[in-house]
Structure 1
Amino acid sequence: MTHVSYLWTPSPVPSLPVRGSDQRLPINRLFFVGRNYHAHAAEMGKPVDKSVERPFYFTKSPQTLTQSGATVAYPPETGNYHFEMELVVAIGKTGFRVPAEQAHEIIYGYGCGLDMTRRDLQLVARDKGRPWDLGKDVEQSSVASEIVPMPGKIIESGAIELSINGQVKQQSDIDKLIWNVREIIADLSQFYHLQPGDLIYTGTPEGVGAVVPGDQISGRVEAVCDIQLTVGQPA
């Protein structure tokens, strides 16, 4: 076996804890579904007509992954940092052009996620037709809980909610997803060879809003798990 010598020590593989196991789930890629609840799409001023549209996606660097319970610094160059609570699907097997009726076969489990967003920068980019990277691919902005193994299971319903300092801000149900878990996997796998360790953040319901340093974020997906995050002072 050839020895590889690096100029400096590579970063460790991003990973998440797995409920009931001392092994961690190594993370490959982070996919996010945009505007996947009608009420959220409406509050963003971009309603969705499923009859003529397909889902759309953006990605974040795996290095933005942050584990639930962390304190993260309020990021630079924004005055409007938003929370977005999401159900996360963890892929456990390879899959390409997966039929919707077989989507369950490549699921390893689920978790809770927060897609933290520089909303002001995202909207400027959106309105100018530019990429969303500065608004979305933010350091420490892909927050995730432990992964709960549920191989082969499709979650079709269940309460999803988020609170700031104990006050409920987002409250909906997974059954209100515009494109459900099966449809997301089937569509995304038309574009990518999905791999074990890929995470899919399935979209956020209405009620997104800004946080300030000191805020305590807590969220949950019914019958899955909880998630927590503290917003720290600017770096």
Structure 2
Amino acid sequence: MKKLLQFNIKDTEKHKIDTNKLIKEVVEYNGKDFLFDGLSNSEIKEEYYDEKIYQLDKYQINTISDIKLSKQDDHYSIVISIEGIENFFTIGSVPQSLTLKIDNLLEGSDIKCEIVMMGGKYKKVIVNDDGSEVVKSFREPILFSLSIYERPAIPTGYSQIGYEDINEKHIDYFCPNCKEKLSGKRNCLTCGLEIFYPGEKHPKTTSEKIIETSNKISIAGDSVQSFGNSMILGCTIPIIIIILIMLLF
């Protein structure tokens, strides 16, 4: 992708609460196995003695979020949303001097935004007074930079969501039929199955329609049977009462 603009995001301190909420969501989404590069404390001690190992990769936010530029009055804010979460997160603003340039980019290009995160929680090996080595956690202020790219045209035969997830967010998808790795195309290259990627709307398959129809018929059948039973019971009770009256009197 062609990079059109890059800058450091302003006013991050003002939006610290939203930033912390965003980081929490990203951490929960990725799970423990993917934090700190998936390294254990012993691995950090053995292989990364003098390095800071950050909790999140600097591009990690991009893998699960949608980044937008939201204009209010004469300035832009950077707003991030995550699929499946109603709330959105404002993490800072665009420098005032770039407002006109952003206006022109939004009018003339189909753009894509990418966040780079710097700082945050990290682990590092420290040496105690007695000479022993331990891994401890530390925190740095979180800063962001934003890159704006010209979004490339999606090749013919590809799903836009699938293409972007695989080629830009580096998410792996596999065919549910033959288990082969997908490329973002609408149809699996190996078995030809039509693929619908997460987040896409798609028509119900024939089997789903058959199941739904069968369920409706079953429900209707149960209703008819229930109605029939009620009718039988409703007719039987008065007859029994009449017979009892005749026997008693």
- The TM-score bracket by the shorter chain reads under 0.3
Larger Rg: 2
Comparing both structures, which one devotes a greater share of its residues to strand? 1
Comparing both structures, which one devotes a greater share of its residues to helix? 2
Q: Which has the higher contact order (CA 8 A, sep 6+)?
A: 1
TM-score, length basis structure 1: 0.26
TM-score, length basis structure 2: 0.25
